[in-house]
């Protein structure tokens, strides 16, 4: 690692520890030439995922956009923001684990709906109505009926 102060290529690591989130390693370094200290962070290089939209266009996966969509579905519902953040993290991890450079937006939408179905029925139906582009009350009613049927099969907590 080159010293940011004198550009000397010889530095030594004094201390290494994981960050609080566990997503990086923090290293304290000292330049062997000028003696000044600085901090570096080592992180895993992630391959950016491109989302293939319904119209065929592509855009980079945006965690914030996913978060915003889920927050809108959960608006005025008793869903803690920590649960929403957990869903977003799980979906993002799941996408990275698939090891694909491109992902259809439909797959991401299905992941979101699966998580919301287990979290809050109203948020699920809200998201489904936008995602599946309900055009009339009948589409909405069918989705609610499916949700109610599946709810009867699930054991109550």
Task: Compare 133 and 110 and report the one with higher pLDDT.
Answer: 110
pLDDT per residue over 4-16, tens digit each? 999 999 999 999 9
Q: Is pTM beyond 0.75 here? A: no
Is residue 121 a contact partner of residue 91, using CB atoms and an 8 Å limit? no
From residue 86, give the alpha-carbon distance in Å to each of 15, 119, 128, 152.
31, 11, 20, 26
Task: Report which of residues 69 and 151 the model is more confident about.
Answer: 69
Residue 156 predicted with pLDDT over 70: no
To 5 degrees, how large is the angle CA 35–CA 36–CA 37?
A: 120
Mean per-residue pLDDT of the chain? 87
Distance CA 53, CA 103 (A): 9
Task: Tell whether the torsion through CA atoms of 81, 87, 93 and 99 is positive or negative.
Answer: negative
């Amino acid at each position: 690692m080159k010293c940011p102060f004198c550009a000397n290529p010889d530095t030594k690591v004094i201390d290494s520890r994981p960050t609080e989130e566990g997503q990086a390693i923090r290293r304290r370094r000292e330049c062997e030439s000028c003696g000044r200290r600085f901090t570096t962070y080592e992180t895993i290089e992630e391959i950016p995922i491109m989302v293939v939209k319904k119209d065929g266009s592509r855009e980079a996966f945006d965690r914030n956009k996913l978060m915003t969509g889920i927050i809108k579905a959960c608006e005025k519902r008793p869903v803690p923001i920590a649960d929403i953040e957990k869903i977003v993290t799980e979906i993002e991890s799941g996408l990275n684990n698939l090891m694909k450079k491109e992902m259809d937006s439909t797959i991401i939408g299905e992941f979101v709906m699966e998580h919301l179905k287990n979290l809050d029925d109203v948020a699920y139906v809200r998201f489904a109505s936008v995602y599946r582009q309900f055009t009339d009350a009948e589409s909405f009613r069918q989705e609610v009926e499916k949700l109610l049927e599946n709810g009867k099969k699930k054991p109550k907590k």
